[in-house]
Amino acid sequence: MISCSQKKTSESFTAMNTFMTVTLYSSSSKRGETVCYQIQSRVDELEQILSTTLPSSDVFFINHNSNFPASLKPELQTLIDFSKLIYEKTEGAFNPALYPVIREWGFTTGEYKVPSTEKIQELLPHTDFSKLYDDEKIELDFGAVGKGYAADEALLILEENGIKSALLDFGGNIQALGKKPDGSLWKVGIKNPWDGQVACALSVESKAVVTSGGYEKFFEEAVQRYIHIFDPATGRPIQNDLESMTIVCESGKYADALSTALFVMGKDKAIYWWKKQMAEKSFPVFDFILITKEQQLIYSSGLAGFIEPMYQFESVESVMPD
């Protein structure tokens, strides 16, 4: 148990187009504030590299120039290498090269529209992330992994400063460090897609908890809902049986990238993929919580005992590795 003389510091700021809050416990408020400030600076620094809209960013440069830079900042190289791994492992479900398509649908500007089939077919060949260094038209967008990566970097700062207990909320991406100062687990709420309340509570220690869903960022046209997560195979917003996909694991960037990828896969494929990774043991252990449109709650067995449904689901089920 951490001593009760620990001082709580909580700071919020806006970065990466979202609201972020750092809550930490340290020996003094002054020290806590300094650490919060260091985290904010680091997140700002990452945004300056990864932003698709800041003309001075490294990603903006790649997206607006035909020649690929000879060398990259280490952060960007790390994310590209990591993205390549997840892209390959998920057979392209996670693809950070969809930007031209996503822009065409208006998600970058808010000027939403349903593009013509011809336009999508014209753009799709230039979304092949494996051709990053060969296709001049490739454009990157780390929207599905950047906040998770930023949370990992924030965690390093907390650890360097000897902080043992903290909770980061980076636009709904949660990263818990240690336990609460009283020795109990952090309790994280998974949002109910239908009413914005809590669908289930999850108790965690030193874990990232990241949710992808279609219920927050979308537009509607002719009674059809178009969400901000795309099927890389078709260049169209995902329409499947899921409302949300939450990943729980040690690393923020894994949790973030996988929440998007497993959301793209849909219920059956996501469960199959999880079982496959757990059997092969070549991938970090992770857990999932998925909520279907039919109001089922399904979670991986590693979370048994730590998850508490707060909503009258049609069914609640846990899945074991094979």
For ligand ADP, the closer of residues 94 and 288 by Cβ is: 94
Tokens 């990566």 locate to 149
25 near ligand ADP, rule: CB under 6 A: no
φ, ψ of residue 24 to 5 degrees: the values are -140, 160
Q: Classify the C-alpha dihedral 272-275-280-284 as positive or negative.
A: positive
Among 229, 247, 262, 291, binds ligand ADP (CB under 6 A): 229
Q: Which does 264 bind (CB under 5 to 8 A by kind): Mg ion, ligand ADP, none?
A: ligand ADP
- Residues 36 and 158: their CA atoms lie apart, in Å, by 9
φ, ψ of residue 3 to 5 degrees: the values are -55, 145
Shortest CB 155 distance to ligand ADP, Å: 18
- Residues 144 and 164: their CA atoms lie apart, in Å, by 28
Q: Classify the C-alpha dihedral 222-223-224-226 as positive or negative.
A: positive
Shortest CB 167 distance to ligand ADP, Å: 18
Site string for Mg ion, 121-160 (x = CB under 5 A): -----------------------x----------------
243 near ligand ADP, rule: CB under 6 A: no
- Residues 155 and 161: their CA atoms lie apart, in Å, by 10
- Residues 207 and 205: their CA atoms lie apart, in Å, by 6
Of 62-70, 92-100, 112-120, 298-306, the segment contacting ligand ADP by CB under 6 A is: 92-100
266 near ligand ADP, rule: CB under 6 A: no
Of 162-170, 198-206, 259-267, 306-314, the segment contacting ligand ADP by CB under 6 A is: 259-267
60 near ligand ADP, rule: CB under 6 A: no
140 near ligand ADP, rule: CB under 6 A: no
Burial of 84 (0-12, 13-18, 19+ CB in 10 A): middle
Tokens 């959301």 locate to 263
- Residues 23 and 10: their CA atoms lie apart, in Å, by 4
Q: Which does 95 bind (CB under 5 to 8 A by kind): Mg ion, ligand ADP, none?
A: ligand ADP
Tokens of 16: 């990466």
- Residues 6 and 96: their CA atoms lie apart, in Å, by 41
Among 6, 51, 95, 244, binds ligand ADP (CB under 6 A): 95
192 near ligand ADP, rule: CB under 6 A: no
Alpha-helix residue ranges (DSSP H) falling in 99-232: 99-104, 117-123, 146-160
Of 32-40, 71-79, 256-264, 285-293, the segment contacting ligand ADP by CB under 6 A is: 256-264
Shortest CB 195 distance to ligand ADP, Å: 19
Binding site for ligand ADP (CB under 6 A): 94-96, 98, 102, 141, 143-144, 147, 172, 212, 217, 228-230, 232, 256, 259-260, 264
Binding site for Mg ion (CB under 5 A): 144, 256, 259-260
